[in-house]
Chains A and B, each alone.
Chain A
Amino acid sequence: MNANDPAILPLALRGVSYEAQGARLIDDLSFELTAGPRTVLLGPNGAGKSLTLRLCHGLIAPSAGTVTWQGPGAGQAMRRQAMVFQRPVMLRRSAAANLSYALSLRDVPMSERRARVAQALDVAGLSPLANRPARVLSGGEQQRLAIARAWALRPQVLFLDEPTANLDPASTRAVEELIGEVVRSGAKIVMTTHDLGQARRLGDEILFMHRGRLIERASGQRFFTAPQSPEAAAFMAGSLLW
């Protein structure tokens, strides 16, 4: 994150709904995200976590309601955020070239790219694999590369959609450590997960969703010790049925 750029946060969702083929998948969502705490969207499969992330990131437009960046840098909001997908798309070129491609899209000058790529690969522990074709990397390595790619863009906000859903425990740990690096760089983290352990480890604040609606919002500590809603309590007990 570049300290000189004007901030794009806070992000405000007001009465946001999203419908597809007549079904209401996101229902009247209103919340505000501010700089600082790591925000975790938690909930069972189909709760609408990923859709909410896409709405925030601007990949899809709400059927009703508004998604607004309210900081002074809001005009440049899209360029100051990044997203890591559950299954990252790697281009058919080397790991390093995937990074410099992303930097070229954000108009980072050629002279700066090489250093940023090397730095990002180093942070992700992928320097030895820089010249490997990105698509032959393992799932865990690809996900780390995806986070490194997002991190290299110096985003103020990084959205992560179930970044470890397909990974083994060791890779999950490596990815979570890398997310820690991103947090240290000053970026705001907004991620989805259905993994309670992960939400406990990473969630400074929890937004608990169920059936397209925001059920409960609380600090991580409070949410896990004393959930206020019956749905959240049931989810943690493993008895929440979709």
Chain B
Amino acid sequence: MHDLGNAFATALRLIVGRDHDLVEIVRLSLFVSITSVTLASLAGLPLGAAVALFRFPGHRLAAIVLNAFMGLPPVVVGLIIYLTLSRSGPLGVFGLLFTPAAMIVAQALLITPLIAALTRQVVEDLWREYEEQLRSLGAGPARALPTLLWDARFSLLTAVMAGFGRATAEVGAVMIVGGNIDHVTRVMTTTIVLETSKGDLPLALGLGFILILISVSINGGAYMLADFVRRRQA
């Protein structure tokens, strides 16, 4: 109990004092997560909407696969990226292993199915409501796709936020492909794992606080923004 109290105090000191290492780690974490969520959204939103709107052979299978891949184990994804990017792997020539780029790739692959699966559900429900009207006006599924994504924007923000949450909290994949190298690929989650195993609880705990704080404030901010815009546009 005494240790925990000490840890809290030290953690607070690190945060308030903007400890240099801490700031660097937080900054890299945000960079990696935000970039991967952006990439995953660019791929996942249209992908999910396409599975919702187009009828093709294997359509049901695609929907099932998306849903199943929502829960992809990060360590397995990490391992696959590791094998692909390692010197002897197919993409080894790019020398991306143990760089932030590799971490971004791994997280984007993890999150894309999550965003796509949630998007599919949202867009499918909306299409049920809009289909007759849009077809009557002259829009087929291809033309309806951007329209539905835009009209579902508030619900889809939740899907993107879920992706962001998964990215910031994830540790297995970034540990494997990033390697947790000090000043290069060390992010909040990998640091927490490392410092905990070393017994340096204050830094681990401080990062834990910040991780939760970031998650809460970004989600809260997004919620309030959506609420504000929704109230103006209905």
Provide the bound-state CA to CA distance between A78 and B139, in Å. 11
Are A85 and B138 in contact (CB-based, < 8 A)? no
Pick from B16-24, B93-101, B127-135 the stretch touching chain A: B127-135
B1 CB → nearest A CB, Å: 53
A70 to B60, CA, bound (A): 39
Q: Is B6 an interface residue (CB 8 A)?
A: no
Q: Decide yes or no: A59 and B136 within 8 Å by CB, A89-B129, A89-B130, A105-B143 being known contacts.
A: yes
Quick check: is B232 within 8 A (CB to CB) of the other chain? yes
- Assuming the contacts A59-B132, A85-B132, A88-B133, asked whether A133 and B232 have C-beta atoms less than 8 A apart, the reply is yes
B contact residues around A136 at 8 Å (CB): 234
Contact B139 A92 (CB under 8 A): no
Residues of B within 8 A of A79 (CB): 138
In A130-152, the 8 Å CB interface with B consists of 133-136, 149
Chain A residue contacts of B233, Cβ below 8 A: 92-93, 133
- Complex: A82 Cα to B153 Cα, angstroms: 27
Q: Is there an interface contact between A57 and B138, defined as CB atoms closer than 8 Å? A: no
A83 CB-CB contact with B under 8 Å: yes
Interface residue? B61 (CB, 8 A): no
- A91 CB within 8 Å of chain B: yes
Least CB separation from A91: chain B residue: B151
Nearest-CB distance from B131 to chain A (Å)?
9
| Chain B CB within 8 A of A173 CB | no
Give the bracket for the number of chain A residues in contact with chain B. 20 to 34
Partner of B138, one of A91, A105, A133, A149: A105
Residue from A105, A135, A153 in contact with B139 in the complex, judged by beta carbons closer than 8 Å:
A105
Q: Does A24 contact B (CB under 8 A)?
A: no
Point out the residues of chain B lying under 8 angstroms from A149, CB to CB: 137
Majority SS at the chain B contact face: helix
- Tell whether A105 pairs with B132 under 8 Å between CB atoms, given A92-B151, A93-B233, A136-B234: no
Residue on A nearest B132 in the bound complex, by CB = A59
Confirm or deny: A106 has a beta carbon within 8 angstroms of a beta carbon on chain B: yes
B147 CB–A CB distance under 8 Å: yes
Contact with B along A192-220 (1 / 0, CB 8 A): 00000000000000000000000000000
Could you tell me if B132 and A106 are in contact, using CB atoms closer than 8 angstroms? Answer: no
Taking CB as reference atom, which chain A residue is nearest B133?
A89
Which A residues lie within 8 Å of B234 (CB)? 92, 133-136
Q: A91-B151, A133-B232, A136-B234 are in contact. Are A59 and B130 (CB under 8 A)?
A: no
Q: Say which residue of A57, A101, A134 sits within 8 Å of B136 (CB atoms).
A: A57
Contact indicator A85/B133 (Cβ below 8 Å):
yes
Residues on B with C-beta less than 8 A from A78 are 138
Q: With a CB–CB cut-off of 8 A, which chain A residues contact B134?
A: 89
17 A-B pairs (CB sep. < 8 Å): A54-B132, A78-B138, A79-B138, A82-B136, A83-B136, A85-B132, A85-B133, A89-B130, A89-B133, A92-B151, A92-B153, A93-B233, A101-B137, A101-B147, A105-B138, A134-B234, A136-B234
Q: Which residue numbers of A lie inside 8 Å of B, CB to CB?
A: 54, 57, 59, 78-79, 82-83, 85, 88-89, 91-93, 101-102, 105-106, 133-136, 149, 153
Residues of B within 8 A of A (CB): 129-130, 132-139, 143, 147, 150-151, 153, 232-234
Q: A88-B133, A105-B138 are in contact. List 20 more A-B contacts (CB 8 A).
A: A54-B132, A59-B132, A59-B136, A79-B138, A82-B137, A85-B136, A89-B132, A89-B134, A91-B147, A92-B151, A92-B153, A92-B234, A105-B143, A106-B137, A133-B232, A133-B233, A133-B234, A135-B234, A136-B234, A153-B137
